[in-house]
Each structure stands twice: as C-alpha cells, then as structure tokens.
Structure 1
Amino acid sequence: MKTPIPSGRIGLALVLVIAALALAFGLWAGSRWLADPPPPSLQTAVLYPDPRPVAEFSLQRTDGSALTEANLRGHWTIAFFGFTHCPDICPTTLATFRQVWTELARRGVTDRVRFLFISVDPERDTPEKLASYVQFFSKDFVAATGTDEQLTRLTRSLGLLYVRDPDPAGGYNVDHSASSIIIDPDGRRAGLFRPPFVAEQISSDILTLVESR
C-alpha cells in the first residue's frame, strides 16, 4: 500500500511550481521589454547594427561660421562628400536630393532633416563658389569644407575616402566615396544610402526614420 503524501507537502510543491513559472514569465517579459525595438523596414537605406558617435571635427560653412559635430544633433542628417568640379556623380546626387527635399517639404518634416554637402576640394571650392553651387539645388542645403587634415579626420570617422588624381593637362580630379551617410538625431553614424539613388525610395526611408524617433 502506497503511503499518502501529506496535503501540506502537496500545497508546498504547488506553490514552488507556481513561483518558478511566475519567475520564468517575469524574466521572459522583462527581456522582451528591455530588448531594443526592431529596426524600421527600409527600401534602400542600410542601417548599422551599432551606431557610433561622429568624431569631433570643425569645418567652415559657406557663410564663414563653423560646422561641428554638435550641429549634427537634434535632426536626421544626410551627408554627401564631393566637389563642385565633379562631372557626374555630385550634380546627379544633389539633383536627386532636391527631389527628396521637395517631397519632405510636402510632408512637412523638413524641420527634422538636414542635407549636408561637404567639399573635399578646398583648393578650388572657395566659400563663394561652394555656396553658389549648392544653392542651385536648394537654398536649404548646408555646405562646408575644410583643410585636408580636417576633412580626412571626418571622412575616416564616417568610413569614407577621397583621393586626388593628377590629369595630363596639369590639373587634377578627385575620386571620392559615392555613398551618403545617415547621421541620427544623437549625432551618431547610423547608416548610409548607396547609389544608385532613387528619390522615391530615399524619401520613403527618411520619412520612416523620422517617424521612428
């Protein structure tokens, strides 16, 4: 004959099982609550899994004021590096960004986005020339440049490159990365847009990013 288990021991075992289940559920729920939200669904932008702050830098805007890493905070920034003598990539990219800017203005979010054009050809791109070049595409676009030391510090921080190639006529061309960097409102390198640039896709992705913060 089996010895019956005292009801008190059954009650204690039941309490322990319930407590274990409650603890397991609490840990599961806590991990779900603390976990980072899933990244937004984007059409063409590539987001980095671990955004990092942009290194300290100082460039000169076309109006003579300084552009530093502090100016990148508080809004989304789309930064593109090029030069005014660029025969194709730069004007084509800025023309696309003009279309994007028009769409963002229509949607009423231009106060939360900045487009930044940085010249990697400071010898030829004077403030006056750079201002005239960028304003042709949009008066709202910000333009800046600096010394090679300043530019190299920033491009390396963003994972970009540029190099000058002499030409047979005695001048030079500038080869540079064609991607545009996405900087989040915390001033971190958050991702990039790779060419070919399609205005509709970029507009959609920027709107998604704006709505995510």
Structure 2
Amino acid sequence: MLRTAVVCAALVSAACAGAARLTHGFQVWTEEGARRIEVALAPVPAPAVSVQGPGLAAGELRGLLANGRDISVVEFVYTHCETLCLAGGTVFQQMQAALQARATPPHVQLVSISFDPERDDPARLATYAERMAADARWWRFVRVPTATQTRTLLDAFRVVVVPDGRDFQHNAALLVVDREGRLLRIFDFAEQQLALDYALHLAEGGKP
C-alpha cells in the first residue's frame, strides 16, 4: 500500500512538473496562449522578406516596420476571406478612426499583410483597401510576393495558416511591432482597445 502511494505521488509530481513546463507555470493551456507569453518574454525580429503593396515602393518588410518612427499594429489576412479577415478589417477601421480623431497624429501605423501572394497582387490589395475605406496615411496593405518568403514570415511570427483546398484556415490576432521591427505583443481582436492603447503608449515613448 505504501509503495503504491509513493509511486502514485511520484507520477502526480512528474505530471505536474511537465504541465507547469508546457504551460509556462500554468499560465496558459493553449498553443496560442504560449505563443503570446513567449513573444512578450522574447521579442521576435521581423525576418528579411520582401513586400509589395499599393502606393509602396518594393522593399523589405523590415524597412516598413523598422522605420525608426512608427509603432505598427499588424494583422494577417487574405482578401478572399469572408470571415476572420472581415472581422479584422472592421477592427482596423475602428482603430483608423481612433487615430484620425486624435488632435496630434500619433506615430502608429496599421499594416495588413496578405499570406495569399498568388491572388493578392498589389492591384487586388488596392481594391480591397478601397473596400475597407483604408486611409494610406494610417493603414497599409502589403503582400510577401513568394510562397517561400511568406512561409518564412508566418513561421517567424508563428502565424498558423492551413490551406483547405480553396481557401485557408488561420488564426487571427493583432500584433504590435516596435520601431525596430520587433514583435512585442499579441492581442485578440476582442482586445483591440488594449492593443491600440499599448501601441500609443510605445509611440509616446513608453517602455514595452
């Protein structure tokens, strides 16, 4: 009996230790939650991938995000999406309105990055931006032009995109990137005000 109790206790202890390790001290129970904590603890630099978009000279994503001036709020989309991406577009529309309403224009930019380079060429992105009533002074639409570089970016920021035959299944979030092009925080769409407040805090010189 005593031996059985000791073995059971050891197994429970090992299980708890494993769970604590996998959930960052029981702070999270999902892969998405783990991603958010890991990014907060160790910011992720934007990889060296090319981007193209309406009204934007061809260049690197780092040049767009790490411009030394703007804090970026980033979302990942594809223009044929009729679910999560439209919800994200609504969130960005509201953020854009909040930025436009400020008496002093803040150094915050909104960036929608397409992960569907075959269909989302710059012309298609321009049409989509018009549909979203995007103001290019605040809100940029870009694509990474090759599938290989797109995968590099998605892997770096741990964005899950799974082709389902015709379209994609993907996770959705608001990513806050600093002036050096480092991903600092990840927020749910439901936390849009928190994400915007954090971006404004950084833009005003606040600490991460």
Task: Please say if 1:96 is aligned against 2:96.
Answer: no
Per-residue CA deviations over 1:128-158 (Å, capped at 9, x if unaligned) read 1111112332122211112111111111111
Residues 1:186 and 1:109: Cα distance change in structure 2 (over 3 Å) = farther
Residues 1:185 and 1:108: Cα distance change in structure 2 (over 3 Å) = farther
Task: Please say if 1:191 is aligned against 2:163.
Answer: no
Aligned residue pairs total 163
Task: Please say if 1:80 is aligned against 2:88.
Answer: no
Of stretches 109-118 and 148-157 in structure 1, the one that deviates more from structure 2 is: 109-118
Distance in 2 between the 1:83 and 1:111 partners?
A: 27
Residues 1:94 and 1:57: Cα distance change in structure 2 (over 3 Å) = same
Structure 2's unaligned 5+ residue stretches are: 1-35
2:51 corresponds in structure 1 to 59
* TM value normalised by structure 1: 0.68
* Two-structure CA RMSD over aligned residues (Å): 2.2
Matches for 1:124-143 after TM superposition, within 5 Å: 124-137=119-132, 138-140=134-136, 141-143=139-141
Residues 44, 156 of structure 2: 8 Å contact kept: no
Question: Post-superposition, which runs of at least 4 consecutive aligned residues in structure 1 deviate over 4 A?
Answer: 108-111
Residues 161, 176 of structure 1: 8 Å contact kept: yes
Structure 1's unaligned 5+ residue stretches are: 1-44, 167-171
Residues 1:123 and 1:162: Cα distance change in structure 2 (over 3 Å) = same
1:207 corresponds in structure 2 to 200
Residues 74, 174 of structure 2: 8 Å contact kept: yes
Distance in 1 between the 2:168 and 2:82 partners?
A: 10
Distance in 2 between the 1:202 and 1:109 partners?
A: 19
Q: State the secondary structure of the residue aligned to 2:180.
A: coil
Per-residue CA deviations over 1:7-55 (Å, capped at 9, x if unaligned) read xxxxxxxxxxxxxxxxxxxxxxxxxxxxxxxxxxxxxx97612223222
Q: State the secondary structure of the residue aligned to 2:169.
A: strand
Residues 101, 110 of structure 1: 8 Å contact kept: no
In our comparison, the structure showing a higher alpha carbon Rg is: 1
